[in-house]
Amino acid sequence: MHATPAQILQKHKLFSKLSGQVVWNLAEEAGAGEGQLDAFMDFFEGQKARAVALLEALARDPDGWLILELDDPATACPACSRLAGLAVPANHPELLDYLPPFGLGCRLTGRPGIPDRQQAVADLPPPPVHKLCCDARSLTRLLAELPDAADTA
């Protein structure tokens, strides 16, 4: 039986804690207006879709690897910066601990792939803790970066 996206997300350390209503409430409390709320929910749904696609790809190829990259190194937190370039085997028992995002606004992304250089699994640093929001990119900062849906309509 094929797992649904909702079942797949229940394995993710961040998305298993978040519902659309929780994220909506967080954004409202951060002062988001109606257009920002729509843009933020689109951002959140996009993050979830990317996580599902990544988990599906890693499940299809248990001999593959999770490659971690930063989408903007200048604004990443130190915990995620130290993971940039890290490769984690898809069959690693703690794979889900290394699966980004680690919080809303996290700059770390993952993709399936083959590492440039062979890395010993014993050399994996401890992963950051998955929490609701990124320390380096607060929710208010993230909201300010998103285009207001009312401006793009």
- The pLDDT of residue 39 is 92
Confidence category of residue 152, pLDDT binned at 50, 70, 90: very low
pLDDT digits (tens, 9 = 90+) for 8-23: 889 999 999 998 899 9
Q: What is the spatial distance between Cα 146 and Cα 6, in angstroms, rounded to a whole number?
A: 25
Pick 134 or 120 by higher pLDDT: 134
**Gyration radius of the chain over CA positions:** 16
Confidence category of residue 41, pLDDT binned at 50, 70, 90: very high
Confidence category of residue 49, pLDDT binned at 50, 70, 90: very high
pLDDT digits (tens, 9 = 90+) for 77-101: 899 999 998 999 999 999 999 999 9
The residue extents of the domains of the chain are 5-145
| Cβ(51)–Cβ(99) below 8 Å | yes
